[in-house]
Amino acid sequence: MSGAAITAGRRLALAALLTLGGIGLMARNALADAPAAAASDRPHKLLALMEASGVSTRLRELIEASLPQVRAQGESILKTNLRHMRPDAGIRDRLLAAEARFEQAAKLRLQTVLTDNVWLREYDRAFSDGELDQLLAFYTSPLHVRERALDVADDSALRNSIEQVLHSGTAELTQDFVREVRALTRECDCREPAPAAAAPAPPATH
């Protein structure tokens, strides 16, 4: 075999080794990236499962049912702090705007339950990615659509999630609202005057 043929053969072998090495490196990188991709996909699977199973719908219903309680709390705070007060139109409008901001902030705080609740935590703890895929396949199947029509599952755990946010998650919002109302009532200096003292009774005549 000529020297040129040997050199050409070596070049081909080297090129093959470099190609195989590149393929091996790509495969190792893909395997290394797979757990990270699966980890980032897991929260989406859990949320999709919560939506498909009807839990998200029930949570939204419970949140909406809780809003009158938030509204009543805002009205109570205004009523308590405006006792014996006669604010002018400007202060009254600012108080109502503060109440509306409180209600909206409380609603947004309640909606955090949609992405952080006992159902999500328990399913994340109990099921592997493959099992989540199987559950998703079931919950998006026609069979489950029929099963949901008969669903009478107890949703006390979901109610507890809402109550927890109502009682502790909105406490800071409530305190901020009370401080704003009190600051506005001090600003308006609109306390009703104290009732006039009763005139002394005339002396008795004999």
Q: What is the pLDDT of residues 14-72, one digit of tens each?
A: 343 333 344 344 434 433 443 444 456 999 999 999 999 888 888 898 899 999 999 99
pLDDT of residue 37: 42
pLDDT of residue 95: 92
Going by C-alpha positions, the residue among 118, 154, 144 that lies closest to residue 53 is 144
The more confident residue out of 191 and 5 is 191
Going by C-alpha positions, the residue among 85, 111, 100, 103 that lies closest to residue 184 is 85
C-alpha torsion sign, points 18, 21, 22, 23: positive
| Rounded average pLDDT over 82-101 | 90
Residue 58's contacts (CB-CB under 8 Å, 6 or more residues apart) are 155, 158
The more confident residue out of 44 and 151 is 44
Q: How far, in Å, CA of 162 to CA of 112, rounded?
A: 10
Residues 177-186: tens digit of each pLDDT: 889 988 888 8
pLDDT of residue 186: 85
Measured CA to CA in angstroms, residue 185 lies from 34, 54, 170, 181, 182 at distances of 59, 45, 23, 6, 5
How high does pLDDT run on average in the chain?
76
The residue type at 107? K
pLDDT of residue 96: 93
| Rounded average pLDDT over 123-137 | 93
Q: How far, in Å, CA of 7 to CA of 67, rounded?
A: 82
The more confident residue out of 38 and 151 is 151
pTM: 0.61
The more confident residue out of 205 and 175 is 175
pLDDT at 97 over 80: yes
